A = this chain, B = another copy of it.
Amino acid sequence: MVTIKDVAKHAGVAFKTVARVVNNDPTVKPENREKVLRSVEALGYRPNRAAQMTRRKKSGVIGFIADELLRIPYTFDLIRGAQEMAWKHNRELMVLNINEHKYSLEAAVDHLFQHRAEGIIYASMYHRQVSLPDSLTQIPTVLANCYTSCGRFATVVPDEELAGEQIVGSMLDKGYRRIAFLNLDERIIAAQGRKAGAIRAFEKRGESLQNLHIESVIVEQDGQLISRARLAACEVIKQFKPDAILCGQDPMAMEIYFVLQSLGLKVGEDIGIGSFDNWDLIPELLQPSLTTMALPHYEMGRWAFNYLLDERTDVVASKLPFRLISRGSL
Residues of chain A at the chain B interface (Cβ within 8 Å): 1, 46-51, 53-54, 59, 71, 73-74, 76, 80, 83-84, 87, 92, 94-97, 102-103, 110, 113-116, 230, 251, 254-255, 257-258, 261-262, 280-282, 285, 287
Q: Given A71-B76, A84-B102, A102-B84, are A49 and B281 neighbors across the interface (CB < 8 Å)?
A: no
Question: How far is B63's CA from A95's CA once the two chains are assembled, in angstroms?
Answer: 12
Question: How far is B82's CA from A97's CA once the two chains are assembled, in angstroms?
Answer: 11
Question: How far is B287's CA from A47's CA once the two chains are assembled, in angstroms?
Answer: 57
Question: How far is B90's CA from A115's CA once the two chains are assembled, in angstroms?
Answer: 13
Report the minimum CB–CB distance from A276 to chain B (whole Å): 15
10 A-B contact pairs sorted by A residue (CB < 8 Å): A46-B110, A47-B114, A50-B53, A51-B54, A83-B95, A83-B97, A84-B102, A92-B94, A230-B287, A251-B281
Interface of A is mostly: helix
Contact (Cβ within 8 A) A280 B73? yes
- Residues of B close to A251: CB separation below 8 A: 281, 285
Chain B residue with Cβ nearest A227: B285
Contact (Cβ within 8 A) A255 B285? yes
Question: How far is B95's CA from A113's CA once the two chains are assembled, in angstroms?
Answer: 19
- Residues of B close to A83: CB separation below 8 A: 95-97
Question: How far is B110's CA from A98's CA once the two chains are assembled, in angstroms?
Answer: 28
- Residues of B close to A258: CB separation below 8 A: 257-258, 261, 287
- Residues of B close to A113: CB separation below 8 A: 46
Contact (Cβ within 8 A) A49 B287? no
Contact (Cβ within 8 A) B84 A48? no
Report the minimum CB–CB distance from A93 to chain B (whole Å): 8
Question: How far is B102's CA from A110's CA once the two chains are assembled, in angstroms?
Answer: 32
Known A48-B54, A48-B114, A84-B102; further 14 A-B contacts with Cβ < 8 A: A46-B114, A49-B114, A50-B53, A50-B59, A50-B115, A50-B116, A73-B74, A83-B96, A87-B103, A251-B281, A254-B285, A255-B287, A258-B261, A280-B280
